Structure 1
Amino acid sequence: MKRFQLMRVCLGAVCLSMLAGTLNAADENETKLPTNLPELRETAVKILVEASFSDVPLLRANALEGMQAAPDRALPLATRLLNDPNPAVRYVAVVTAGMLKFDSLSTAIRPLLRDEHPSVQAAAIYALRAVGENIDLTPLAGLLERRDPGLRGNVAQLLGLLGDPSAVPMLNRAALLPMPRVSATDLAVVRIQIAEAMARLGDDDALDALRSGAFSQFDEVRVLAIVAMGEVKDRRMEVALERLADQPPVEIQVAAAGALARMGNTTKVQSVLDAARHVNPIVRGQAAVNFAYFSDDRSLVMLRNMLIDEEPIVRVSAAAAVLKRLSK
């Protein structure tokens, strides 16, 4: 994995309109799929547990992220994956422990303060502070200043999760630090990550960087900026996002529709429904993640169908969305 970033598995509310607790069948022949909400949830859990044992690090990491909606199920996964051979998976495990306040894992996390990968070290500092340990945050400042774009972006994310507004000046300085050997794309990505963290911490001036990023020449940067606007609920951009949700490329459409849904505007669900049928499994996975922001029957049925997609990354994304949505 290029960056140790958490997938944005931030999902929507359960579909309350299904009063009987059953799902409308999208296809008469799909009898093997779950037909009620408890069964759907357990199917999603099973997919994520199985994926956590995958030989593919990305699937292991995404499986744990997806399980965050069910802390009791996430704890054993996080416990095991703290010792994963892949640093990106360890990073996700440590961050999950912090986000879900798994204080029982403090002893297991402490050795990771000396992990060979700086992003894992930073995650360990975050997690220990998040679970109430008295730990010095000063090393995060040094890690934030290193010229590794992935590390800088991860540390910015962790500072945003900690929720301490006093970190804003530090983040602002980091955004201005040069990285002369880094590609223009990576530099732009890091600046979006820093801007999002600052916005999370209450710095409204950082919204300008996110708004500009939505119109970057780099599609990756555009997607990150649009998703971030949804995360921080930048309602001033709602009209612009509605336009973006109707204009290709499809990745931008899905990101914009999901950002709008996060703000309570679900009018662009059709863009996500169309993307769910896309030939590219990455696009289908993106659609699955964003379905979780919606609460209509059609998107829930589509998620159910995506649990048997031929591509593992789509199945894991759909399972994560289902679990978060039904946990609301």
Structure 2
Amino acid sequence: MPETGWEAAELLQRADPNARARAAQKLRYEDFGADLNRALEDRVFDPDPEIRALAVSLIPDLREPVSPDLLSSALQDPCPDVVVSAAEAFAILRFPRASDILSECLAMRPDLTGPLALALARLEDPGAEDLLIDRLEQEDPAVRIAVLRTLGACATARSVPGLVSLLGCGNPAVEGEALAALVRVRERSPNSVGRGDLPADLLDRALPVLMKSRDRHPLLTGIALVGWLRPPEGPALLLGLLESPDRLVRERAREAFGAVAAGAERVALESIAGIADRDPAAAASALDRVAIARDEESRTTCLRLTRHPDAKVRERAVALAGRSGGAGTPEALLSLAKDPVGHVRAQTAEALGILRWKGAGPALEGLLSDPFPDVRQAALSALDTLRDHEVDQERLFESARGGPARAAALRACDPRRAGAPFLSAISDPDSQVRLAAAVSLNEHGVWLEEAAALLADEDPRVRAHALHARLKGPAALGLEPLAAFLRDRDSGVRQTFAIGLERSTGVERAAWLRKLLTDPCAAVGRAAARALAHHHDPQTIGSLLDAVSTGQLPVAAQAIESLGSLGDSEALPRLRAVARGGDPALRDLAAHAVRRVEESRA
């Protein structure tokens, strides 16, 4: 194995081509330092053109930078392979003036127009445009294609006439590249190319060929054309690509379908209905990209798809129907509340909530007993939107079977009017039911003295929600009975306590937050530090300064932010010290806090 860059570079001079290739691979992936740079620079001027080309091709992989002058001299090499390698190296390294240098080389070496144009394409610099336009008249189709690809990457409106002139040249490959270049020019500058600039028969002639291609490049051109020109058959052409295994093709086709459907939802939905039986996955994906069905005919097609045998198609059609609304839509969706597939029932509940039809109330109440959590949650959210519907609490509790159903019923009811069923839930043996009772109190901003047992529940989630509800309660209740939560065995409950104390009232609040500031759990200390930003007193300032010096990093960071909010000049010496030489993660925060304090004093 070579030990120096010189010895490694010597391997390039072996007579056996396979040995040279192996040596190039070794040099590409092993670090030989500055010696290798100097050795390769010498090989760029080797008498053997193969060694020169190989040495130049390795330059972009060097760890040490090389001079652009070295590659510029390689561009003047009489061997075409060396020139092409140097052009590719310029494109990879992107030296200053790389585009100008390659353009000059292109003018001097018309025989290498193809590969030099491809190197320019990688730079995507419009400076070479005029030179490339002159090369469009090259007779060699391969050269023309290379020039067209370069213009596609960097051309402006100046190239449009030349590109349009090639659309009828008779060579399908050249015509395809010219069309692709025009599409890319239009993507950069939408007003540079209009529909009237294209031949009248272009779509009929080129679009079917492009959309049936197995190659990505023409496919992407065809997709872009459909999104731009929006022909009537556009949705049908795109549907087959919505589930393409090629990620880029799939994403572009979905984007184009959404754009086309936005202005022609009736045609788009008819196309979806036509393909739904053959390719339900594509139909489901397409339904996601139809924003709304505005006219009655479109809504009729959409509702017909809600009865499709495929569950995904039904689910996406229900979602579209919910977004679209219209006369008869809520009644048509009501039967889907009993669909055999949980995802469809959940989407139905969500759609009925969006439509806010009070007639959906009983069906949504029935979904609160659904075995699937997503369905129950969607029904709860939907019921919350029905302002004109009053939940029949007695019937709801009577029909609830099992813990999940009772829990959903509790959350749908107002605790103040739920009566005995709610009070019995407080001592229910199922923790889900007790949790729902605590969550209901929290969501409704209500506190009942009968719910005090939830504060001592064995489940920390129940304690946390009950504690939050209690802290939202009337100030007359006082904070003293909650002192035990300072030492709760669950850090999540203590964090909830700190967050709740920020919004509560009581003389104990500031002292308790200062105590929670030193909690062993960083999340608790951070919540306490954030809450203390609303308490401007000397003890609070001192506690926050102590947290900056001795607290865990997240707590110290939040303490710095709180000190900046409080704007007390007493904090400035410590904050300036942290900004100058404290933990690197805290310096910017401390400097910002210093500026805030100084501004508040001005």
TM-score range, shorter chain: 0.3 to 0.5
Higher relative contact order (CA 8 A, sep 6+): 1
TM score, norm. by length of structure 2: 0.27
Give the TM-score normalised by structure 1: 0.45
User: Higher helix proportion, which one?
Assistant: 2
Larger of the two Rg values belongs to structure: 2
